[in-house]
Amino acid sequence: MSAIARRGHILLLLAVCCGVALADMHAGRSASAPETIGSTAAPLTQDTKSGDFSVPQLGGFATDLRAQNSDALGKRYSSSTMSVADISAKWNELQSRLLADEAAVSACRTSAAACTLAARQFLSIVDIGAQRDGRVRFGWVNRAVNMAIRPASDWSQYGVADFWASPLQTLGSGAGDCEDYAIVKYVVLRELGITADDLRLIIVQDEKRETGHAVVAVRHEQRWLILDNRTMAILDAEDVHDYRPLFALDQHGTQTIATASIDLITNR
């Protein structure tokens, strides 16, 4: 498969497969299990330099997954680096829309007459989240965003295979796929003061469903927690065994955090 085809395929896979209806990752946990209820990023560039880019443990991966890449894995999955630029480009392209959202939310705070329904809804989630602390806050944000958005493909909404909408675009339409859920949660948590070091948007390979997916990881009390549109429950990252992390996105850039194979993904 050509390099261009590989790059397009992983984005298409992510676009068409991740916008599934809410469902628990673990049959033993109910989606209705009780989970009581900043600023946006500057334009980013691909960043694969060394530094403090710790990521949540998923499926038994170590905290710094780069250290786990053996020679065998590196050879097997070397083509995965081709998609880093594509993911980074999507993330960078989103930043201008986030800035527009920031201006709209700021105007809404200043004048009720300037508020759109989407801005009101965004601020409502933020304001109620601000009244809660710790894990309860994250539970509220996860649940509120999951309930505000219905699953829909980018094809049906935007006529393209993969489009990363801003929070106000997603809340305005009331629909989106997994990255759209994750982007809303990421920006809400930034608005609530979660620092860049404690927050990631994670692109994963769902090994059970054999699809791409996107979740938010937030660090709380030295533990990484996962906010996922497939469940209302907040899960400890070490309890999530079906997801293979591929990329982490945050204020610093896009980082490859596991060398999952594009060959493996595209040949399934």
The rounded percent of the chain whose pLDDT value lies above 90 is 53
The token pair that represents 3 in the structure block = 């390099």
pLDDT band at 28; cut points 50, 70, 90: very low
Residue 14's H or E segment, with its range, is helix 3-17
- Euclidean distance between CA atoms 19 and 212, whole angstroms: 10
Give the amino acid at 109: R
pTM of the entire structure? Answer: 0.73
Give me the pLDDT at residue 147, please.
Answer: 97
For residue 30, the Cα-to-chain-centroid distance in whole angstroms is 22
55 vs 202, which has greater pLDDT? Answer: 202
- The tens digit of pLDDT for each residue in 198-242 reads 999 999 989 888 889 999 999 999 999 999 999 999 999 989 989
- The per-residue pLDDT for range 128-164, each reduced to its tens digit, is 999 999 999 999 999 999 999 999 999 999 999 899 9
Measure the CA–CA gap between 18 and 71, rounded to whole angstroms. Answer: 30
> Does domain 3-266 fall into CATH 3.10.620.30?
yes
State phi, psi for 85 to the nearest 5 degrees: -65, -35
- Only one residue has tokens 């769902």, namely 206
Confidence band of 260 (pLDDT split at 50, 70, 90): very low
pLDDT(263) > 50: no
Cβ contact 187:235 at 8 Å: no
The tokens 């539970």 sit on which residue? 139
CA distance 102 to 79: 36
Q: Give pLDDT, residue 25.
A: 38
Q: In terms of pLDDT, which residue wins out, 156 or 257? A: 156
Task: Look at 84 and 91; give whichever has higher pLDDT.
Answer: 91
Please give the pLDDT value at position 14. 54
Confidence of residue 251 (pLDDT cuts 50, 70, 90): confident
Residue 192 DSSP one-character state:
T
Check residues 258 and 229 and name the one with the higher pLDDT.
Answer: 229
Domain-by-domain residue ranges, the chain? 3-266
User: Residue 256 has what pLDDT?
Assistant: 74
pLDDT of residue 139: 96
- The confidence score (pLDDT) of residue 54 equals 46
Evaluate if residue 75 carries a pLDDT over 80: no
Q: What percent of the chain has pLDDT over 70?
A: 65
Dump pLDDT digits (tens) for 93-135. Answer: 999 999 999 999 999 999 999 999 999 999 999 999 999 999 9
CA distance 162 to 150: 17
